[in-house]
Structure 1
Amino acid sequence: MKRILSVVMTLSLAMGFTTGCAAVKRLNVGRTAASLLISDEQEEQLGRQVKQELEQKEKIKYLEDPVVVEYVRTVSSRILQQANRDRQGVKWKVNVIDDPKTVNAFATPGGYLYVYTGLLLAAENEAELAGVMGHEAGHVTGRHSAQAMMLQYGEQALIEAALGKSKGTVTQIAAGLAGNGVGLAFSRGNETEADDLGANYTSAVGYDPRGLVTFFQKLAAKEGKTSAVMKWLSTHPPSAERVQHLNGYIAENRLSGSDLGADRLAPIKQRLKK
């Protein structure tokens, strides 16, 4: 118990830094602390409960077209192979939600990734889809869920959940995640790290790492016109600063990749429009 309390104090202090090297330290400390606060097994249990909440209470409908589902999982599998290098032991599960009016994707603890058909229709090419999936995978590899849960539900509640002493808390967290349908309220630092990880993952398998940037810009151009259906945009604001950072990160780390895959996504979008 003392060890967990010490970790929480370290994480809390680390969250206080905001710039320069301190920001890097915050992310590293946060990830280490989160790994001690909640185990892989507990994250898997939580993710499974969230899935049940989504299916039973939120009544989400999964896409039944095997061609489209296999396509999304094939694209994702290349990204997730890279993510496994940062965090081993995650048993990824990719789900496609049949909702063409919702542009959204989110990740929950345990490696559960969800993408709406509306996002597939909004993406111009495969690199943009890969960028979004890489970003969401980055939230999982970065252990951002445990960090966000501590801030949202309180240190003591998360400690008890991590120690297996409060199933009710885990159920409450699962219900909250399922209820808002967009995942946890990640910090600005978490979002930045997920952006960077997504760029790394996509570049590593040959995609243009700027896919996430162009997707941000595309949604930003539509903001205000169809904002009611763009849940991903509401939780991932494509600020000029964010786009500038990601472009700078790609240049500084010399991330390369030219595969856009527009020709591969086009027939998938046609199937969804039928």
Structure 2
Amino acid sequence: MQQRILSAFLGITLAVGFSTGCAKQRIQAEKTVADILITDQQEEEIGLQVKQELEQKEKIQYVTDPTVTEYVNRIATPILQQANKDRKGVKWKVSVINDPKTVNAFATPGGYLYVYTGLLLAADNEAEVVGVLAHEAGHVVGRHSARAMVNAYGIQAITQLALGKDPGTAAQIAAQLVGGGAQLAHGRSEETEADEYGAKYSAGSNYDPRGLITFFQKLQKMQGDTPGVLKWLSTHPTNAERINHLEQYITQNGLRGSEIGADRLAPIKQKLGGK
């Protein structure tokens, strides 16, 4: 009975969101369902299982050099502090993956953020790295993975997870997340929302919010020469319309920041074997 009532209520919530025809109202309806069904603790459990899957099956190697790991965590800290204002209860964990050929970063449920050394080497300055980190934090704040779970697995399966009736669901979701590239694909509206969070959090930390834009532009130019870049572009497709929207969002909201940080990133790139 409890499951039927909950499923019916959530079905009505989604139906109302879709019937409005407004993307923002649909997103809010999906987020409401995700907020009700998937707790922070459940997201963290799934994120931990994804991490274990990555380590055991993908054999990823983390950077252990404290100079690099402390640097990434230091520049991530003000971004995550900004993110905590919009979503409390996330226990952020930042890891650096040692793979200089892969220009990528991604976030998984529970606030797990992963940055490849290839991204650090590809960026021209700290503001670009911060922009990417802020964008990924935006996916977590917007509960994009949780919303994708609802869409991918259906209300009934997620309701059973929420009610504790299907303890294997979390493990199944984690395995499929890793199999799909450690993340569920985000739609255009989710990417737009994450872009806006990225600019907002960058500026809130006094970094130039256009760092994300210049990084997007760089990836587009690199696409033909560096196959690893496709790992980012395949899950974060970039086009002129998306960049223009971000430019307009920054201007309309008066977002600005003075920090660029090319001088601080340079020695990290040298340490990682870059120029």
- Bin for the TM-score computed over the shorter chain: over 0.9
1:96 partner SS: strand
1:159 matched to 2:162? The reply is: no
Paired residues for 1:49-68 under 5 Å: 49-68=49-68
Structure 1, gaps ≥5 residues long: none
1:191 matched to 2:191? The reply is: yes
Q: Which residue of 2 aligns with 1:3?
A: 6
Per the normalisation by structure 1, the TM-score is 0.94
Structure 1 residues 102 and 243, CA, compared in 2 at 3 Å: closer, same or farther?
Answer: same
Structure 1 residues 16 and 181, CA, compared in 2 at 3 Å: closer, same or farther?
Answer: farther
**Alpha-carbon offset, residue 226 of structure 1:** 1.8
1:95 partner SS: strand
Q: Which residue of 1 aligns with 2:74?
A: 74
Cα RMSD after superposing both structures: 1.6
Structure 1 residues 159 and 181, CA, compared in 2 at 3 Å: closer, same or farther?
Answer: same
Structure 1 residues 70 and 56, CA, compared in 2 at 3 Å: closer, same or farther?
Answer: same
Paired residues for 1:83-162 under 5 Å: 83-162=83-162
1:62 partner SS: coil
2:272 partner SS: helix
Using the alignment, how far apart are the partners of 1:156 and 1:68 within structure 2?
44
| Deviations, residues 155-201 of structure 1 (Å, cap 9, x unaligned) | 32222122221122211110011223341111211111111011100
Using the alignment, how far apart are the partners of 2:140 and 2:11 within structure 1?
19
2:24 partner SS: helix
**Alpha-carbon offset, residue 13 of structure 1:** 4.8
Supply the AA of the counterpart residue of 1:80. L
Structure 1 residues 17 and 139, CA, compared in 2 at 3 Å: closer, same or farther?
Answer: farther
Tell me if the contact between 1:15 and 1:30 (Cα under 8 Å) persists in the aligned partners: no
Q: Which residue of 2 aligns with 1:220?
A: 220
Aligned residues: 271
Tell me if the contact between 2:101 and 2:228 (Cα under 8 Å) persists in the aligned partners: no
Q: Which residue of 1 aligns with 2:46?
A: 46
1:115 partner SS: strand
Using the alignment, how far apart are the partners of 2:196 and 2:217 within structure 1?
17
**Alpha-carbon offset, residue 130 of structure 1:** 0.5
1:256 partner SS: coil
**Alpha-carbon offset, residue 29 of structure 1:** 2.6
Per the normalisation by structure 2, the TM-score is 0.94
2:225 partner SS: coil
In percent, how many aligned pairs have the same letter? 61
1:88 partner SS: coil
Structure 2, gaps ≥5 residues long: none
Q: Which residue of 2 aligns with 1:254?
A: 254
Tell me if the contact between 1:37 and 1:162 (Cα under 8 Å) persists in the aligned partners: yes
1:235 partner SS: coil
Using the alignment, how far apart are the partners of 2:203 and 2:265 within structure 1?
18
| Deviations, residues 90-126 of structure 1 (Å, cap 9, x unaligned) | 1000011000011111111111000100010111111
| Deviations, residues 219-249 of structure 1 (Å, cap 9, x unaligned) | 0111222234530121111111110111111
Structure 1 residues 124 and 8, CA, compared in 2 at 3 Å: closer, same or farther?
Answer: farther
**Alpha-carbon offset, residue 15 of structure 1:** 4.9
2:234 partner SS: helix
Structure 1 residues 15 and 65, CA, compared in 2 at 3 Å: closer, same or farther?
Answer: farther
Structure 1 residues 140 and 230, CA, compared in 2 at 3 Å: closer, same or farther?
Answer: same
Using the alignment, how far apart are the partners of 2:8 and 2:77 within structure 1?
37
1:14 matched to 2:17? The reply is: yes
Paired residues for 1:28-47 under 5 Å: 28-47=28-47
**Alpha-carbon offset, residue 30 of structure 1:** 2.4
